[in-house]
A and B are shown apart, each in its own frame.
Chain A
Amino acid sequence: MTYENNIPEIAAALRAEGKRVALATVVSTWGSSPRPVGSQLVVDETGAMQGSVSGGCIEGAVVHQALETMKDGEPRVLSFGVADETAWEVGLACGGKVQVYVEAVE
């Protein structure tokens, strides 16, 4: 994908400040998910986030898992079904699915 964001740079800068950081990346989508594969979110140890992996509907859960990943160092793949109501708004009645890979930068 082209440079649509600067999440790797933000993550590197946070690491350089000595912060703990996790990255969340959309690795697969099905149907009408709001953000394409490769979209990223960076989370620091306080739970502050930059970037996005959806239109806002799953960020809360992703941040929670990112904090867990920072604690145990285990990367995980999260699967979400986008609520039908949301999917309808973006033009698809049958809902969408998105998989997000969450990893700590260490």
Chain B
Amino acid sequence: MKTELLQRLVTARAEKRPVALVTDLGSGMQTLVGQDVAHGGFGLDREELAEVQKYLREDRSGIVEIGDSRLFIHSYNPPLRVIIIGAVHIAQALAPMASLAGYDVVVVDPRRAFATDARFPGITMNGEWPDDALKELVIDSRTAIVTLTHDPKLDDPALHVALRSPAFYVGSLGSRKTHGKRVDRLREAGYSESEISRIHAPVGLAIDAVSPAEIALAIMAQITQVLRREPSSSAAAA
């Protein structure tokens, strides 16, 4: 490997950008593929690039044989994270569920009565105001953000940051009516339709969930679906 390419890899990791290092096992030539740019010794055709992006999205590494070449795709992804706004009852179920699914979890709530270690054993708590907390946590493209407080004072500042972040998922608890009012407020605050349309609301897959744990399950299922599906289908599903 060229030292310069190694340096690019280290920089991408420090900035939490997902990248794949592609090595031609025959020639030893290497290319670093990011979300939209590639650097290195050889070019990849469209089919190869699509395969690399698929590996990166699925967080897989391995050898692919395309034409005459054997390529080793090494995915370097930042860790998956779920940031939950609101240390509420649903969060008590969602936090351990997300943790089991392999996510780093942070629960944000400035209200001391809610955000106690006793209610969230083993979960990282953040007592800052949601917009400050999200800025401090540096949202990347492997982060999901879920607002659960029902309270515009807390949910809206979080959405203001989330909608202009690279987060792969933004979801907000609330009925259609609640969400309608939320959309009005966001428009007033200057958010575009395409930014607002990033919000999954009502939050979670439609599985007729009733209890807090069931709602958490619906949310976790939706986060999984958004993470794993092909990007081409995202426009249709949104």
What are the residues of chain A within 8 A of B180 when measuring CB–CB?
A: none
What are the residues of chain A within 8 A of B13 when measuring CB–CB?
A: 3, 8-9
Please give the number of chain B residues whose Cβ is less than 8 angstroms from any Cβ of chain A in the complex: 25
- The answer on a CB contact under 8 Å between A28 and B62 is yes
Minimum Cβ distance to chain A for residue B199 (Å): 27
Q: Which residue of A lies closest to B12 (CB)?
A: A8
What are the residues of chain A within 8 A of B62 when measuring CB–CB?
A: 27-28, 37
Interface residues of A in 67-81 (CB under 8 A from B): 74-75, 77
Please give the number of chain A residues whose Cβ is less than 8 angstroms from any Cβ of chain B in the complex: 22
- The answer on a CB contact under 8 Å between B79 and A2 is yes
A103 and B3 CA atoms in complex are apart in Å by 12
B206 within 8 A of A: no
Using A9-B10, A12-B7 as known contacts, say yes or no to A1 and B76 having CB atoms under 8 A apart: yes
Using A9-B13, A101-B72 as known contacts, say yes or no to A15 and B6 having CB atoms under 8 A apart: yes
Using A38-B61, A75-B28, A101-B72 as known contacts, say yes or no to A106 and B2 having CB atoms under 8 A apart: yes
Minimum Cβ distance to chain A for residue B201 (Å): 29
What are the residues of chain A within 8 A of B209 when measuring CB–CB?
A: none
Q: Contact partner of B10 among A8, A27, A37, A75, CB < 8 A?
A: A8
B78 within 8 A of A: yes
Q: Chain A binding site: helix, strand, loop or mixed by DSSP?
A: mixed
- The answer on a CB contact under 8 Å between B75 and A28 is no
23 A-B pairs (CB sep. < 8 Å): A1-B61, A1-B76, A2-B102, A3-B78, A8-B10, A9-B13, A11-B6, A12-B3, A12-B6, A12-B7, A15-B3, A27-B72, A28-B62, A28-B63, A38-B61, A38-B74, A74-B28, A75-B28, A101-B72, A103-B23, A104-B1, A105-B2, A105-B6
* Besides A1-B75, A2-B77, A8-B10, 18 new A-B residue pairs in contact (Cβ under 8 A), listed by A number: A1-B59, A1-B60, A1-B61, A1-B74, A1-B76, A2-B59, A2-B79, A2-B102, A3-B76, A3-B77, A3-B79, A12-B6, A25-B72, A25-B74, A37-B61, A75-B28, A103-B23, A105-B3
B interface residue numbers (CB < 8 A to A): 1-3, 6-7, 9-10, 13, 23, 25, 28, 59-63, 72, 74-80, 102
A interface residue numbers (CB < 8 A to B): 1-3, 8-9, 11-12, 15, 23, 25, 27-28, 37-38, 74-75, 77, 101, 103-106
